[in-house]
Structure 1
Amino acid sequence: MAQMIPLILAEEETSSSMARQRVFRDLNDPLDCYDDMELVRRFRFSRASISKITELIANYLNFAERSCVASPHLQVCVALQFFSSGTFQIICGDGINVSQASASRYIRDVSLCLQAIYHQFVSLPAGLKRVEVKNKFYEIAHFPGVVGLVDGTHIRIQRPSENEADYINRHFYHSINVQAICQPDGMFSDVLARFHGSVHDSRIWKNSGVGMHVENTFSIGEHILGDSGYIMRPYLLTPYRQPISTPQFNYNMHIRGQGLLLNRHLGDGNEDSTVFMESSG
């Protein structure tokens, strides 16, 4: 028996070492640490989707430096948790055991990486895809030629240290006014997030690259639909503010039927994420 004690102690030490390694690996990779349901609950994305996002931006992430021991999965998950919850960074970081400073760095780095690949996935439909989109919109509200729906949504931000008044929107809180163009399946074909909360939707459209693109490239009979906050153009159709005839009432009914679709998709963001606080309507 005495001869077996060293063997037992050695085996226990090996097991303890393996356990320590396992804990370290789990803490450094949420995909190892959480089951499928918990991943979706925390980060709003499935295991496969998190892996795909990480794969897409891995070459952009600066995780090879000795000073950054966090795995790409961890950096992506910290950012996704912040995007989906809107919580302060220290709360977000504590959820998966990283400091506020680290969480802030991961959110910044992942955001820049996503921005770098943005146009691979977010663009106005063209060719056969555009025909498909117009057909789907027509099935919804029997409105022909619709390529997308545009609206703004206010994203709440902390009180800025400079130019504070520029960020106060008509709901009297600090925000940025984000312009989004939506497809019938809920996918976004354009997002612009660089204007202060005090800027009106119509001004954002007028000064946006996508607005100029639509004006210069859309064929006759193709258009984006917007609400009455936009100025009506051949390529940007909006409801009549004061309809006076049956055709105008019918037109408004169809265009607002499409508008409900956009409000629902922006509303999905509002319900799932406190980052998206309130649609500007």
Structure 2
Amino acid sequence: MAAEYLDIDLNFQHEVIAEMLRRERMIRDRANPFVMYDDLDFLDRFRLSKAGVIELMRIVGNHLDEGRRGIDIPPMMQLLVTLRYFATGSYLRLVGDSFGMHITTVSNIVKKVSRNIASQRAMYIHYPDERQRLNTQQQFFRLCRIPGIIGAIDCTHIPIISPGGQNAEIFRNRKGFFSVNVQGGLLLILACCKNSSVSEFYL
């Protein structure tokens, strides 16, 4: 009698767990960030607009396969996982949890997508020639009356999770949160017109 009850109870538990997993898989499959989030929420989570992600996908998508060992992860999902990792400064495991992926899968995706994005650098990062440098100096002089400027450097704080340990407070910035200070430069800036439009810039 007790054995029969245990068998029934265990079978019921297995059925409940199987149903929960089936529902979770359905929810996860339908969880499309482009549909789930409005434009502002999407930008907040991925640090790129929906149009920006689509454009980046156009550039790197052909270089992303759909995974190995029978795990089909569409190129767009790989890109979103990577952008989420970049945007949050979070741990791979936490990003994986939010997408329903194992930490190893997330690690492989981030590595692959990052390399593919970096491989396109020659299309977007280039240094000015002599004529462009002279033109930049002239435009900077017209803008701020300082001679000889060929570029400008700025920094931004990228939020991170506290690294922990004795030196964690080194990463706390003046605004009170943990961050890494990232530096970016503009080697050529064309002066802004009165209508605030900028026609060209070089990284």
TM-score bucket (shorter structure): 0.5 to 0.7
Q: Which residue of 2 aligns with 1:59?
A: 62
| Change in CA separation of 1:73 and 1:144 when aligned onto 2, cut-off 3 Å | same
Q: Which residue of 1 aligns with 2:15?
A: none
Which of 90, 95, 102 is the matching residue for 1:92?
Answer: 95
Any gaps of 5 or more consecutive residues in structure 1? 1-18, 160-167, 190-281
Residue aligned with 1:181, SS: strand
The CA distance in 1 between the partners of 2:147 and 2:66, in whole Å, is 49
The CA distance in 1 between the partners of 2:133 and 2:71, in whole Å, is 43
Alpha-carbon contact 2:78-2:109 (below 8 Å) kept? yes
Any gaps of 5 or more consecutive residues in structure 2? 1-22, 173-179, 191-197
Shift of 1:180: 4.5
The CA distance in 2 between the partners of 1:41 and 1:177, in whole Å, is 19
Q: Which residue of 1 aligns with 2:186?
A: 182
Shift of 1:178: 7.2
The residue type paired with residue 105 of structure 2 is: S
Q: Which residue of 2 aligns with 1:26?
A: 30
Deviations 1:185-219 (A, max 9, x none): 89662xxxxxxxxxxxxxxxxxxxxxxxxxxxxxx
Asked if residue 105 in structure 1 is aligned to residue 98 in structure 2, the reply is no
| Change in CA separation of 1:37 and 1:172 when aligned onto 2, cut-off 3 Å | closer
Q: Which residue of 2 aligns with 1:76?
A: 79
Q: Which residue of 1 aligns with 2:13?
A: none
Structure 1 vs Structure 2 CA RMSD:
4.0
Asked if residue 121 in structure 1 is aligned to residue 144 in structure 2, the reply is no
| Change in CA separation of 1:179 and 1:34 when aligned onto 2, cut-off 3 Å | closer
Shift of 1:52: 0.8
> Kindly, what percent of the aligned residue pairs are identical?
24
Superposed counterparts of 1:267-278, under 5 Å: none
Residue aligned with 1:114, SS: helix
Deviations 1:49-76 (A, max 9, x none): 1011111111221226563411111111
| Change in CA separation of 1:33 and 1:157 when aligned onto 2, cut-off 3 Å | closer
| Change in CA separation of 1:131 and 1:93 when aligned onto 2, cut-off 3 Å | farther
Superposed counterparts of 1:1-281, under 5 Å: 23=27, 25-27=29-31, 29-63=32-66, 65=68, 67-126=70-129, 130=133, 133-149=136-152, 180-183=184-187, 184=189, 189=203
TM-score, L = length of structure 1 = 0.44
